């Protein structure tokens, strides 16, 4: 009987009544609930913006893939084509409907009008490439007109840099070209690629006359094909896999470009999503903390409802629905903001993108963002909501309730488990593999745990070593850190995480720049002259000496290919995998040097270095350790190198560790003197010019030796700075969202603690505390919180930057003290300002007004 009654009671008090109660209960808490939801708005906004942008990018890459590559198939080779390779290229040409050819390499360009010169990417083009899309030029007609005659298309950034105009002359090697137009876009080109190596297109027919194609020059040979629509290009390429590998040819189809471009941008958007996700997690912790206090304040209401016959499940659902509603409103607001941010992302990222990205609304991304927001709000609110189960109706009679901790802890563990699982699965969706996923999840957990641990430690230490001798105001401010309803943990987490983010960003950027600046330091070379022919070497050295510049390094470079290892050639190694050698070591061109000693960037790790070869002896070469390991080579192995057609035997004499980060010419393979000294070679000379003389010296070299190329490290430094600025801006943009979220959580936390402290402040005021005294108490509390959170955040940033420096960039990490101090002071001051600002709002009202309002 009772059971039946109960069933009908449960059915009657159905979902709609619970929903109605949830709505009724939230009516008078609107402003407070709005404060909670603001924590997740930015997180959701960034997720929606990035996800929409990513969806559009995918679609646009699909739509524009053909224009990205410009042809149905591109075949490229890093070395001059052998007969067999030429045959393969020709056989593809015979079945194609259009064909074009390109030779590209780095060389100097000299703008005759004003002597401006710079290392550029020369692209000598024959045929009507691109077949899809076009070379975008100003004037538009230049795209066609440059192809006939001694004309050139010059990258627009170069034109701007050297004030060049259409009709001016640009000297490339021994040939002058008339600038037909400015190149604004070419297939697959992005803003960054053109700033690193700006391109100059010239007709292939005039390449020979530049005199730049010499033995040993680093030339890339590209062949572009267009096929009839019915041709299965991917299938053709698959069949050519083996002969291509044998001949050192690489092929790429539209589909392959689509996939590789898509993959690299998936990495980028995945990374940005994770940054946004951290902002969202931060917001959710804010929501969780706010809900905890909200529920604590609702203790009496819940007890009354329980008295009136509401079951614990119903009470739980009333507040769960409120949280879901908050989450929904926050997510919808976030999604709307996300749509606005999405319009900005293509602008922010445009220099990194190879395609024009549209701004279409992605309904899927918006729906996913809203669903994520609601889900994550509920997930994080479950922690405080679990407590509702233990609220007894007895609270209506007296406000002390016994918690069933065992029961609560069981659910709490379950919710923590769910949160970790959710973070793990979400990260897995954005990242490539489980290792990265676990590393990200562990990193996030570690960050949160450090901040949590630090805040708990603070509370414990303050309690234990409380400075009783301090003045009342200081003591009151300090004791607020551990008194009931304190916000220490959540505020340290919110501020700390935001600080950690921005500090890591600054540290890494400073690290990379300082490393390069160090490389370009006073005793390091800052100008590299290369492609110097043997016949030019002495004259170039004379020029350097004449300009009173130091010759820091002078290195001969010879191009060789590995022919055999211990008698096994490439075919034998491919045939028998038990030999344990890598077939990839063969056939590739290696640029090597010869000398009689090792240099400061090298260290012999195994074997013995012998700098000279005696008459009739076999050369004992030195290999870079990692290269030797990859090739499967051991000390004592017998090698044969093809040195420009001459077979030269050698024995592996030693392994070297090489510091590649030094501004020096470093080599995988070094011959001793006396073996390849007479082989065809070119030379590299490194010098150091004062900044003021760099351009004049470059001009002198280019005018006298047009085929010699120059790398100006100062220019590289400037370009790297620009690139880091561009990438940094994107990351800063995302980090700003995290920091803003942190600030919103901070404001929300401060406001909530204000609600907690309101009676106390009013009591203090009624007892005669002045406005200044109350503000001092607040300032003290936020000063302690801000300094602690900033310290913890900077500590995390130092740890993560150190790990990035050592494990990822392989650089020593030296923290920038000034930067640390600035961040510390900035974050602490911001916390105090926000804290005081909120307290001021409270003080502007009379005590009675406040009490009535809070009642």
Partner 1 sequence: MGSILSVKNLAKTYKSGTNTLTVLQHIDFDIEEKSTVAIVGPSGSGKTTLLGLCAGLDRASSGDVILNNINLNKLNEDERAWIRNQHVGFIFQNFQLLSTLTALENVMVPLELRGANNIKKTAMELLEKVGLQDRASHYPSQLSGGEQQRISLARAFSNSPKILFADEPTGNLDTETGERVERLLFDLNREAGTTLVLVTHDLELAAKTQRVIRLKGGKLLSNAE
Pairing mode, strands 98-111 and 619-624: unpaired
Nearest distance from C-beta of residue 20 to partner 1, angstroms: 8
Nearest distance from C-beta of residue 37 to partner 1, angstroms: 18
Q: Using alpha carbons, list the distances in angstroms from residue 383 to 280, 289, 294, 410, 415.
A: 17, 9, 13, 11, 7
Q: How far apart are CA 37 and CA 745, in angstroms?
A: 10
Of the listed pieces 12-20, 568-576, 683-691, 745-753, which binds partner 1 according to CB under 8 A?
12-20
Cβ atoms within 10 A of the Cβ of 219, count? 19
User: Which residue, 5 or 600, is less far from partner 1 as judged by CB?
Assistant: 5
Please count the residues of the chain: 855
Q: How far apart are CA 513 and CA 500, in angstroms?
A: 20
Q: Which of 4, 11, 548, 577 binds partner 1 (CB under 8 A)?
A: 11
User: What number of CA atoms fall less than 13 Å from residue 790's CA on the CB side?
Assistant: 20
Closest CA to 319 of 262, 230, 383, 376: 383
* Binding residues for partner 1, total number by CB under 8 A: 38
- Output phi, psi for 170, to 5 deg: -125, 130
Nearest distance from C-beta of residue 301 to partner 1, angstroms: 5
Q: Does 312 bind partner 1 (CB under 8 A)?
A: yes
User: Which residue, 290 or 419, is less far from partner 1 as judged by CB?
Assistant: 290
Q: How far apart are CA 502 and CA 286, in angstroms?
A: 19
Q: Using alpha carbons, list the distances in angstroms from residue 386 to 298, 314, 324, 405, 576.
A: 14, 12, 15, 11, 65
What are the residues facing 199 on neighbouring strands? Answer: 121
Of the listed pieces 21-29, 644-652, 681-689, 735-743, which binds partner 1 according to CB under 8 A?
21-29
- Residues from 692 through 751 that contact partner 1 (CB under 8 A): none
Residue entry with tokens 């400073």: 510
User: Which residue, 24 or 87, is less far from partner 1 as judged by CB?
Assistant: 24
Nearest distance from C-beta of residue 393 to partner 1, angstroms: 5
- Residues from 282 through 311 that contact partner 1 (CB under 8 A): 300-301, 303-311
Alpha-carbon torsion (83, 87, 89, 90), positive or negative: positive
Contact 593, 665 (CB under 8 A): yes
Nearest distance from C-beta of residue 312 to partner 1, angstroms: 6
Per-residue contact string for residues 190-229; x = within reach of partner 1 by CB under 8 A: ----------------------------------------
Of the listed pieces 18-26, 243-251, 508-516, 594-602, which binds partner 1 according to CB under 8 A?
18-26
Q: Does 30 bind partner 1 (CB under 8 A)?
A: no
Q: How far apart are CA 530 and CA 309, in angstroms?
A: 88
User: Which residue, 83 or 855, is less far from partner 1 as judged by CB?
Assistant: 855
Of the listed pieces 11-19, 96-104, 693-701, 837-845, which binds partner 1 according to CB under 8 A?
11-19
- Residues from 390 through 449 that contact partner 1 (CB under 8 A): 392-394, 396-398
User: Which residue, 338 or 387, is less far from partner 1 as judged by CB?
Assistant: 387
Q: Does 546 bind partner 1 (CB under 8 A)?
A: no
Nearest distance from C-beta of residue 10 to partner 1, angstroms: 8
SS (H, E, C) 714-742: HHHHHHHHHHHHHHHHHHHHHHHHHHHHH
Of the listed pieces 22-30, 268-276, 370-378, 504-512, which binds partner 1 according to CB under 8 A?
22-30
DSSP-assigned states of every residue in 399-447: S-----HHHHHHHHHHHHHHHHHHHHHHHHHHSSSHHHHHHHHHHHHHH
Q: How far apart are CA 628 and CA 439, in angstroms?
A: 30
What the block records as the tokens of 115 is 């002597």
Q: Which of 25, 252, 547, 637 binds partner 1 (CB under 8 A)?
A: 25
Q: Which of 215, 263, 313, 584 binds partner 1 (CB under 8 A)?
A: 313
Closest CA to 656 of 671, 674, 677, 673: 671
User: Which residue, 28 or 464, is less far from partner 1 as judged by CB?
Assistant: 28
User: Which residue, 398 or 468, is less far from partner 1 as judged by CB?
Assistant: 398
Of the listed pieces 27-35, 480-488, 661-669, 816-824, which binds partner 1 according to CB under 8 A?
27-35
The H or E element that residue 680 is part of is none
Nearest distance from C-beta of residue 12 to partner 1, angstroms: 2
Nearest distance from C-beta of residue 299 to partner 1, angstroms: 12
Per-residue contact string for residues 353-392; x = within reach of partner 1 by CB under 8 A: ---------------------------------------x
User: Which residue, 22 or 481, is less far from partner 1 as judged by CB?
Assistant: 22
Residues engaged in binding partner 1 (CB under 8 A): 2, 5-6, 8-9, 11-13, 17, 20-21, 24-29, 300-301, 303-313, 392-394, 396-398, 852, 855
């Amino acid at each position: 009987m009772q059971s039946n009654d109960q069933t009908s009671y449960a059915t009657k008090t159905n979902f709609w009544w619970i929903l109605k109660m949830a709505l009724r209960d939230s009516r008078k808490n609107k402003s407070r609930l709005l404060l909670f939801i603001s924590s997740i708005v930015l997180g959701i906004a960034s997720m929606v913006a990035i996800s929409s942008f990513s969806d559009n990018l995918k679609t646009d890459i699909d739509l524009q893939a053909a224009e990205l590559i410009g042809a149905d198939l591109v075949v490229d080779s890093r070395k001059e084509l052998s007969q067999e390779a030429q045959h393969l290229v020709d056989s593809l040409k015979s079945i194609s409907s259009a064909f074009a050819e390109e030779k590209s390499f780095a060389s100097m360009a000299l703008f005759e009008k004003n002597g401006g010169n710079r290392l550029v990417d020369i692209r000598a083009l024959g045929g009507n490439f691109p077949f899809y899309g076009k070379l975008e030029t100003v004037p538009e007609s230049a795209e066609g007109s440059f192809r006939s005659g001694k004309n050139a298309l010059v990258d627009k950034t170069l034109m701007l840099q050297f004030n060049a105009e259409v009709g001016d002359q640009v000297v490339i090697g021994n040939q002058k070209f008339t600038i037909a137009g400015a190149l604004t876009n070419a297939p697959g080109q992005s803003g960054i690629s053109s700033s690193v190596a700006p391109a100059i297109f010239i007709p292939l027919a005039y390449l020979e006359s530049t005199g730049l194609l010499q033995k040993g020059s680093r030339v890339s040979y590209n062949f572009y094909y267009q096929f009839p629509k019915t041709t299965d290009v991917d299938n053709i390429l698959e069949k050519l896999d083996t002969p291509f590998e044998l001949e050192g040819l690489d092929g790429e189809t539209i589909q392959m470009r689509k996939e590789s471009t898509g993959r690299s941008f998936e990495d980028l958007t995945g990374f940005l999503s994770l940054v946004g996700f951290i902002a969202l997690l931060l917001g959710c912790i804010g929501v969780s903390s706010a809900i905890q206090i909200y529920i604590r304040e609702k203790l009496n209401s819940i007890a009354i409802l329980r008295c009136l016959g509401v079951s614990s499940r119903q009470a739980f659902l009333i507040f769960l629905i409120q949280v879901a509603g908050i989450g929904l409103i926050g997510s919808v607001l976030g999604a709307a903001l996300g749509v606005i941010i999405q319009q900005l992302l293509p602008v922010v990222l445009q220099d990194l993108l190879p395609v024009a990205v549209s701004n279409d609304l992605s309904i899927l991304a918006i729906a996913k963002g809203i669903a994520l927001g609601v889900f994550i709000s509920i997930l994080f609110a479950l922690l405080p909501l679990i407590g509702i189960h233990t609220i007894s109706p007895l609270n209506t009679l007296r406000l002390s309730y016994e918690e069933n901790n065992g029961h609560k802890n069981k659910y709490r563990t379950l919710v923590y488990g769910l949160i970790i699982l959710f973070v793990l699965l979400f990260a897995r969706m954005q990242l490539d593999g489980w290792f990265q996923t676990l590393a990200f999840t562990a990193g996030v957990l570690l960050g949160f745990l450090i901040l949590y641990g630090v805040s708990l430690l603070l509370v414990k230490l303050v309690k234990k070593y409380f400075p009783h001798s301090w003045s009342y105001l200081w003591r009151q401010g300090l004791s607020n850190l551990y008194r009931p309803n304190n916000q220490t943990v959540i505020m340290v987490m919110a501020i700390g995480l935001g600080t950690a983010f921005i500090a890591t960003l600054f540290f890494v950027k400073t690290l990379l720049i300082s490393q390069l600046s160090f490389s370009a330091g006073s005793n390091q070379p800052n100008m590299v002259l290369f492609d110097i022919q043997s016949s030019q070497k002495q004259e170039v050295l004379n020029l350097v000496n004449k300009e009173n510049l130091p010759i820091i390094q002078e290195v001969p470079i010879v191009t060789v290919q590995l022919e055999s290892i211990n008698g096994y050639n490439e075919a034998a190694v491919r045939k028998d995998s038990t030999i344990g050698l890598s077939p990839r070591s063969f056939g590739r061109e290696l640029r090597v040097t010869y000398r009689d000693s090792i240099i400061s960037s090298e260290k012999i790790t195994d074997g013995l270095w012998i700098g000279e070869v005696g008459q009739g002896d076999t050369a004992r070469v030195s290999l870079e350790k990692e290269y030797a390991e990859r090739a499967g080579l051991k000390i004592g192995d017998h090698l044969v190198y093809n040195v420009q057609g001459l077979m030269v035997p050698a024995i592996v004499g030693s392994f070297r560790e090489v510091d590649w980060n030094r501004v020096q010419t470093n080599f995988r393979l070094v011959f001793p003197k006396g073996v390849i000294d007479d082989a065809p070679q070119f030379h590299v000379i490194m010098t150091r010019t004062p900044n003021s003389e760099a351009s004049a010296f470059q001009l002198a070299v280019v005018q006298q030796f047009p085929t010699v190329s120059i790398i100006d490290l100062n220019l590289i430094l400037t370009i790297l700075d620009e690139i880091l600025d561009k990438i940094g801006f994107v990351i800063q943009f995302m980090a700003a969202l995290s920091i803003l979220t942190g600030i919103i959580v901070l404001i929300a936390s401060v406001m909530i603690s204000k609600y907690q402290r309101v009676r106390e402040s009013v009591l203090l005021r009624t007892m005669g505390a002045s406005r200044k005294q109350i503000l001092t108490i607040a300032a003290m509390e936020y000063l302690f919180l801000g300094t602690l959170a900033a310290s913890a955040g900077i500590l995390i940033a130092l740890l993560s930057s150190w790990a990035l420096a050592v494990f990822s960039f392989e650089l020593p990490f030296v923290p920038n003290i000034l930067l640390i101090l600035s961040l510390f002071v900035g974050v602490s001051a911001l916390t105090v300002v926000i804290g005081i600002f909120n307290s001021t709002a409270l003080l502007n009202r009379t005590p009675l007004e406040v009490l009535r309002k809070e009642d």
